[in-house]
Structure 1
Amino acid sequence: MAVHRKPRQRSLGGGPARTVRTAVTIALAGVATTTGLEGTGHAAPRLTPEQVRAKVEQLYQQAEVATEKYNGAKEKADAAEKRIRTLGDEAARRQQNLNAARDALGSVAAAQYRDGGFDPALRLMLSDDPERYLDGAEFTERAGVRQTAAVNRVRRQLREIEQLRGAAHVQLTSLQSRQTELRRQKRTVTGKLAEARRLLTRLSPEQRAALGEGEGGYGVTGRTSRAATGARGAPAAPGAVAVPNSRAAAAVAYARQKLGSPYVWGATGPDSFDCSGLVQAAYRSAGISLPRTTYAQIGAGRRVSRSALLPGDLVFFYSGISHVGLYIGDGLMIHAPNPSAPVRVAPIDQMPFAGATRVV
């Protein structure tokens, strides 16, 4: 390509056109160098399976951080939607009360009109802006005591409806902000997972299988292993440790039943889960409501030390509290690892331990 030929030496006084051509040539040559168009670039070194594994684990961990942020934003968006519906229902009820009050004023006004009077209440009914009219001094001065009380009720109801509308607007703004955050975190998660999948395609099926086993499996890997877990999905061993109470036992039993279920980010069951979705569903089955995200779940109970762990405790990992599992004893937990590994039993020392919480 012509852009790779070394430009002939010319004096700086060769004229503006030559100077511009020289600058463009140098710039294009620089672009060619940085993009590898000159054909002398070196291919990126091929990653070893262990390097692929380390990179994939890093991507999964980053995706999980974004997943928990997504879960938190979704929880708040759902709450905002619920609040908007509640405010809408309340506004509709208040509007019915307002209409009834205005109808009552209208009946009084109509009676007075038939008697030859033109009561201010009738003006209220005919006004395009009743709230503005209600604020008029003339109306207050001319209205009788009875009408004044009714008018005050109308004024109060108008004010309440306006307050409800303001609150709904605040909630709508919050919802729109949460939806923006949801979209941003979704892009982050899907991008990280797509990059992890791309890296995994570099490995042979045998290497991918070995990588999946290294992601935290401990005797139960995939749906094909569920048949060997017994009638209630509990492996004969390990983790057969007495559970301290019935609710913790119910949560652990639920998690055992879900061994082999796929990891799906943002999922809370019953057929697929992310890490916090699994423990939330497990305790929901035991009649206990947990927050949606890992960083909220760690504050949902009493903190316990690693040495004092009991089955049913929630165990958290990484400095950002981005992963959680359900402790089952013997240094083991049930957790939903990542998209390459289903719900499984794993040792708690395979990830940086961050803390534990006892819910019951």
Structure 2
Amino acid sequence: MASHRRPKQPSRTRVTVLTTAAAAAVALSANAANAAPSEKLSKDEVKAKVDKLYEQAEQATEKYNGAKEKQQKLQKDISTIQDNVARGQEELNKLRDGLGSLATAQYRSGGIDASVQLFLSSDPDDYLDKASTLDQLSSQQVDALKKIQDKQRELAQERAEATEKLKDLSATRTELGNKKKEVQSKLAEAQRLLNTLSAKEKAQLAEKEQRANRSSTERVELGDAPPASGRAQAAFSAAQTRLGSPYVYGATGPSSFDCSGLTSQAWATAGRPVPRTSQEQWRQLERVDVKDMRPGDLVIYFDDASHVGMYIGDGAIIHAPRPGRTVTIAGAGSMPILGVVRPDA
């Protein structure tokens, strides 16, 4: 009799794997069908986004510049304090040696006073706190002890100040690193967007921007301002020699600049150092009405004072605009003016 074998059934594990794979394939197909292709931004949309990123990068750059300037000042202060402490310690050692010589002479002449022994074996502050013992000392010894105490207090204050400044320096270095990363991130994102454009589109945007600069009519209403001072003229001349230099964040020359790097370097060349950042230029320098500005004055832009240019007359400024651009001339009213300051007031 012929045997009837039942067909072999696939294992449960194999069925599960096949079912899962099939479901995944169906899901991927559905997602592929439903996924809309990413829309390519127009060159004008790219320009708007890039301009915003550059503005944010410049804001971060000025904060970076401020942190860098603070770092340099702290390092200088700390170095000065450390030098003062070293010299003060030498003076203290000499004062102690002098008192020791007094004690030695006293011992040779008939024994050393117990109060002097107390000083030489403990902190002089503890000694001087016991005012009743001062009667046991000679006036020369009292003067020596007071000088030592004053010098010790002075050194303690300077060491405490140095410690605080070192803490501040550490925090400033952290801030500096964070701002640098922020600037680099904004610039990288702007470059990524620009890279989505064709060479033709990039050329069209560059030409459009150049035309806007050449034909800028954003002039400001001016009154009868007196002529620029000799130093203001020298600052303007220094800035003018930098036309065409590339914008580089954090740069103060001689071959590249950011916005406040250009203005601070130009005025330093004229013999009038000004604050490094546009925010500090706005905060520290004397303000004048827009209608009264004259060549050499600094025009501060945006509510946060994150950009600055130098007024050159005829309603125009010279400035370092942004990454990817060079030092150029533009209408003084081509950006929202916060106010005007005069370094040589």
* TM-score, normalised via structure 1 length: 0.77
Corresponding position of 1:346: 330
- Distance (whole Å) between structure 2 residues aligned to residue 173 and residue 4 of structure 1: 62
Corresponding position of 2:85: 91
Corresponding position of 1:68: 62
The count of residues paired between Structure 1 and Structure 2 equals 309
Q: Helix, strand or coil for the counterpart of 2:309? A: strand
Corresponding position of 2:238: 254
- Distance (whole Å) between structure 1 residues aligned to residue 268 and residue 129 of structure 2: 57
- Distance (whole Å) between structure 2 residues aligned to residue 206 and residue 307 of structure 1: 42
- Distance (whole Å) between structure 1 residues aligned to residue 287 and residue 197 of structure 2: 41
- 1:47 maps to which of 36, 41, 48: 41
Corresponding position of 2:261: 277
Moved more, 320-329 or 144-153: 144-153
Does residue 265 of structure 1 match 2:258?
A: no
Does residue 58 of structure 1 match 2:38?
A: no
Say if 1:215 and 1:337, in contact at 8 Å, map to a contact too: no
For the structure 1 residues 52 and 243, does the alpha-carbon distance in structure 2 shift closer, same or farther, using more than 3 Å as the test? farther
Q: Structure 1: which 5+ residue stretches go unaligned?
A: 7-31, 220-241
Moved more, 164-173 or 276-285: 164-173
The code of the aligned residue for 2:281 comes to Q
Corresponding position of 1:209: 203
- Distance (whole Å) between structure 2 residues aligned to residue 99 and residue 287 of structure 1: 43
Moved more, 178-187 or 48-57: 178-187
- Distance (whole Å) between structure 2 residues aligned to residue 314 and residue 3 of structure 1: 68
Say if 2:125 and 2:149, in contact at 8 Å, map to a contact too: no
Deviations 1:170-224 (A, max 9, x none): 22222222222212211111111111111111122333234344456746xxxxx
Q: CA RMSD in A?
A: 2.9
- Distance (whole Å) between structure 2 residues aligned to residue 319 and residue 75 of structure 1: 22
Corresponding position of 1:130: 123
The code of the aligned residue for 1:335 comes to H
- Distance (whole Å) between structure 1 residues aligned to residue 207 and residue 164 of structure 2: 49
Deviations 1:71-118 (A, max 9, x none): 112222222222112211221221111111100111122233445624
Deviations 1:43-62 (A, max 9, x none): 43211111111111100100
For the structure 1 residues 194 and 303, does the alpha-carbon distance in structure 2 shift closer, same or farther, using more than 3 Å as the test? same
Corresponding position of 1:105: 99
Corresponding position of 1:330: 314
Say if 1:105 and 1:122, in contact at 8 Å, map to a contact too: no
For the structure 1 residues 103 and 352, does the alpha-carbon distance in structure 2 shift closer, same or farther, using more than 3 Å as the test? same
Q: Which has the larger radius of gyration?
A: 2
The code of the aligned residue for 2:334 comes to Q
The code of the aligned residue for 1:340 comes to G
- 1:146 maps to which of 140, 143, 149: 140
- Distance (whole Å) between structure 2 residues aligned to residue 41 and residue 121 of structure 1: 92
Corresponding position of 2:168: 174
- Distance (whole Å) between structure 2 residues aligned to residue 63 and residue 70 of structure 1: 10
Deviations 1:96-145 (A, max 9, x none): 111111001111222334456244445544x4x53465356396464333
Q: Structure 2: which 5+ residue stretches go unaligned?
A: 1-18, 215-225
